[in-house]
Every structure is written in structure tokens, then in C-alpha cells.
């Protein structure tokens, strides 16, 4: 397995963990557990940002082009109708 694949797999894994943390946080009623899960999610987010930065620097990840003002306005209008 090459480095690019490992970095990509790591990002996918971390993103999945972030989704699961969000689900768990919203479903727990225990304040201490909720706080602990939020701390764990924050640590996970910091790891994701670091791996993302490395992937960008090495050219392993190229983000999508930025949305145009027209595209942003279109999405805003769709969301505000609902």
C-alpha cells in the first residue's frame, strides 16, 4: 500500500468517526458522556485537519473548485424556500 492510499484511507476513516461522534452526541442524555464525546470529536477534528493539510501539501487531495456567487445565491434561494 502506498502513502497516498494510506492518507486517503485515514481521511475517510476519520470522516466516518466524525459522523458517528455527531450521532452519539445528539443521542445521549448524560451530560458527562456528552462532554466527553465532544472532546473526543474535537480531537478527531484536529487530526482530520492535520491529515487534510498533509494530503493537500503532497498533492494527494485536490479540493473541488470554489462555488461561484451565482451558485451560492441559487442554493441560498432553494434553502430559504423550504
DSSP structural state of residue 67:
P
User: Residue written as cell 430559504?
Assistant: 80
Neighbours of 47 (CB within 10 A): 15
Neighbours of 25 (CB within 10 A): 16
Question: What are the tens digits of pLDDT across the range 38-76?
Answer: 999 999 999 999 999 999 999 998 888 999 999 999 999
What would the grid cell of residue 50 be? 492535520
- Return d(Cα 81, Cα 77) in angstroms, integer: 6
What global pTM score does this model have?
0.73
- Return d(Cα 10, Cα 46) in angstroms, integer: 13
Amino acid at each position: 500500500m502506498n502513502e497516498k492510499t494510506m492518507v486517503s484511507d485515514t481521511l475517510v476513516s476519520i470522516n466516518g468517526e466524525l459522523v458517528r461522534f455527531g450521532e452519539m452526541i445528539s443521542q445521549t442524555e448524560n451530560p458527562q458522556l456528552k462532554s466527553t464525546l465532544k472532546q473526543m470529536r474535537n480531537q478527531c477534528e484536529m487530526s482530520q485537519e492535520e491529515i487534510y493539510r498533509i494530503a493537500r501539501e503532497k498533492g494527494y487531495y485536490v479540493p473541488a473548485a470554489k462555488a461561484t456567487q451565482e451558485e451560492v445565491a441559487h442554493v441560498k434561494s432553494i434553502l430559504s424556500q423550504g
